Structure 1
Amino acid sequence: MSHSGEKLLEIKDLKKHFKVGRKQILKAVDGISFDIYRGETFGLVGESGCGKSTAGRTILRLYDATEGEVNFEGVNVHDKKSKKDLKIFNRKMQMIFQDPYASLNPRMTVMEIIAEGLDIHDLVKNKTERKERVHELLKTVGLNKEHADRYPHEFSGGQRQRIGVARALAVDPDFIIADEPISALDVSIQAQVVNLLQKLQRERGLTYLFIAHDLSMVKHISDRVGVMYLGNMAEVASSDDIYEEPLHPYTQALLSAIPLPDPEIERSRERIVIEGDVPSPIAPPSGCRFRTRCPHAMDVCAKVVPEWQEYKKDHWVACHLYNDKYNDEYKKRENQGTVQAH
């Protein structure tokens, strides 16, 4: 798991807002920025409703962006393009969906599901080649060619997700968004699907955006990790840095909730419990989105949106605790014993 240093995707101040009713606006994704390098796995994590799946769909242009850019190989995906240009993008960028039950058409055979992309992009010359290609893809994902004539309801969840992987691979993409691809599967099957994705990445030089809420699995599969909260990015760093030196209070709380295999360490470590519910993305808090649940919140957090800054090399964070202008207030309160030590 390593990347080439070449940027495949540049996401700049990306926003996706939805109109709710006559006047209300739901800010699902509200100005996120990060890069994805060729050959790496970028893990995107956060609680349900934080906007990570919407971000994935907007990057792939399943949703049109409200504002911002998604530059793929230097070209903005959201610029107005001809159908021909979009077809080229669609071939290079594919998606594996969360629910293996809902994402496969129950009226189509596995052959038809996997071959759909081959047909749309004219990648096979005749029916014989089409059949051979589908059989080859089934073998690649650990299924048999006999499965090609069956329907989705005849398969288990894990097998269906393998069919979803084969469908994504059919057009030979460079970049795949895996939107919580294992959350609907049994724990025993999850590792098999993750191992398959890693094997395919090694063999085909694929780049992944792996969206999940399970931080322990994200650590296992990702080179770098981005943490989202209520439509904003809280932190981005290498997988090791996120787990060994989390900066944002939200990241720290998420990590403290992961159970450890050693019961002695598990009993002795401090849990950071986040109080309260996630605010509504229709009416997010002023200033820092996390301030209403943050144990370290200061006065400035309600007034000023935290700057997205590179705190140290390749470790980005949006938190006033790491801004010299504001953390004097925090230190003063810490000395008075009114906040917990950070």
Structure 2
Amino acid sequence: MIDQREKLLEIKDLKKHFPMAGKTVLKAVDGITFDIYKGETFGLVGESGCGKSTAGRTIMRLYEATEGEVDYQGENVHGKKSAKELKKFNRSMQMIFQDPYASLNPRMTVKDIIAEGIDIHGLAKSKQERLNLVNQLLETVGLNQEHGNRYPHEFSGGQRQRIGIARALAVNPEFIVADEAISALDVSIQAQVVNLMRELQEERGLTYLFIAHDLSMVKHISDRVGVMYLGNMAEVATSDDLYHEPLHPYTQALLSAIPISDPEVERSRERIIIEGDVPSPINPPSGCRFRTRCPLAMDVCAKVEPEWQEYTKDHWVACHLYNDKYNEEHKARQAVKN
């Protein structure tokens, strides 16, 4: 249940730019703003290369922000911190990575992988307590205690991701970034991992940032969803509002591509085809970044960057179609069509 009164994270105009050869700059994340409430799952979606994983890693401070703020419980994550403060912060925020095999040390036993955070933060007073904590975590994620003596290569992809979840839980975090945590798994295993994450959220009061490109899965796990395109936020809304009344043309196109199980509805509905390639984040289009592929683009879209606005309660969008100052051209076009 979302507690609307308590924001856990406030992301304010966050930017992450990477210097390239010469004077060129890759603008992976270029000014995104949204909040994450305590106890909710915030889904972050978009095409590959839109900057969603970079956003997650910058929020976690795995990357230093170029500009902007990430406020965690009112404290700027990217402010100067002492080693002691960083250690406390790192315990409260953890990450589950996309490729569980690449993120697990192949030379360490599962027991030692899970206990790494316990050791760093001094959460066990003895070897026996350490072992007990690891065994509890293995059982929590649906694995057996004897699995602790094995190595990562001895497990399936789904089991390895459970090990990754256990490692993240070991330090009792409050906030977890799941970066494409299920995309490398079979569909049946994806559902099992998502159900496990939901159970853990209810039991432990966790807050998730769930990064994915599969919009159908994001719908089932997320309370609210943000849509990114080429380093910018296009839209943020509750899961129900976004899937039933998408505002941004990009969101509408993404949702129109999700298959529907009812064949009658599937045949009758309109598919929105996004033509052209995603522009380079090194040299993004002027104005609205989606305008070069948008079927509803207007003259103003090339000149003015759309304002990030709350169009209806809790439904944010960056599109000139919803700004009375600029959408007369769109209304005129619709009148001609009708």
TM-score w.r.t. the length of structure 1 is 0.98
1:273 match:
273
Q: Which residue of 2 aligns with 1:292?
A: 292
1:127 aligned partner: 127
Deviation larger for 313-322 or 327-336: 327-336
* Offset at residue 20 of structure 1 (A): 1.1
Contact 1:4–1:39 (CA<8 Å) still a contact in 2? no
Question: Offset at 1:336?
Answer: 2.7
Residue aligning to 1:159: 159
The structural deviation recorded for 1:23 is 1.2
Q: How far apart, in 2, do the equivalents of 1:91 and 1:2 lie?
A: 23
Tell me the residue number matched to 2:200: 200
Structure 2 counterpart of 1:122, one-letter code: G
**More moved, 3-12 vs 206-215:** 3-12
3-state SS, counterpart of residue 291 of structure 1: coil
Instruction: Note the 1:103-114 alignment, pairs <5 A.
Output: 103-114=103-114
Q: Alignment partner of 1:277: what SS? A: coil
Offset at residue 4 of structure 1 (A): 5.0
2: CA distance between counterparts of 1:332 and 1:254?
26
1:65-76 equivalences under 5 Å are 65-76=65-76
Name the aligned partner's letter for residue 223 of structure 2. D
Partner in structure 1 of residue 13 of structure 2 = 13
Show the counterpart of 1:141. Answer: 141
1:195-245 per-residue CA deviation (whole Å, 9 max, x = no partner) reads: 000000000000000000000000000000000000000000000000110
Offset of residue 47 of structure 1: 0.3
Shift of 1:100: 1.1
Equivalent runs, 1:116-265 vs 2, <5 Å: 116-265=116-265
Q: Is 1:27–1:231's contact at 8 Å kept on the other side of the alignment?
A: yes
Asked if 1:36 is matched to 2:36, the reply is yes
Aligned to 2:102: 102
Structure 1 letter corresponding to 2:249: P
Say what the alpha-carbon RMSD is for the aligned residues.
0.8
1:5 corresponds to which letter in structure 2?
R
1:71-108 Cα deviation digits (max 9, x unpaired): 00000000011011000100000000001111111011
1:308 positional shift: 0.1
Distance change in 2, residues 1:4/1:320 (3 Å):
closer
Query: 3-state SS of the aligned residue for 1:293?
Result: coil
Structure 1 unpaired stretches of 5+: none
Number of positions where the alignment pairs a residue of Structure 1 with one of Structure 2? 338
| Secondary structure of the corresponding residue to residue 292 of structure 2 | helix
Alpha-carbon distance between aligned partners in 1 of 2:254 and 2:333, rounded to the nearest angstrom: 25
Q: In structure 1, the residue corresponding to 2:65 is in which secondary structure?
A: coil
| Aligned partner letter, 2:55 | A
Q: Is the 8 A contact 2:216 2:258 kept in 1?
A: yes
* Superimposed CA distance per residue, residues 102-156 of structure 1 (whole angstroms, 9 cap, x where no aligned partner): 1111011001100000011111111111011000000000000000010000000
SS in structure 1 of the partner of residue 26 of structure 2: strand
Give distance in 2, aligned partners of 1:5 and 1:250. Answer: 30
| Amino acid of the structure 1 residue aligned with 2:291 | R
Please state whether the residue corresponding to 1:336 is helix, strand or coil.
Answer: helix
The 8 Å contact of residues 2 and 37 in structure 2, kept in 1 or not, is answered as no
Conserved in 2, the CA contact under 8 Å of 1:249 and 1:294?
yes
TM-score using structure 2 length: 0.99
**Letter in structure 2 aligned against 1:42:** F
AA in 1 matched with 2:52: K
For 1:115, give the aligned amino acid: A
1:38 partner letter: K
Q: Name the counterpart of 2:304.
A: 304
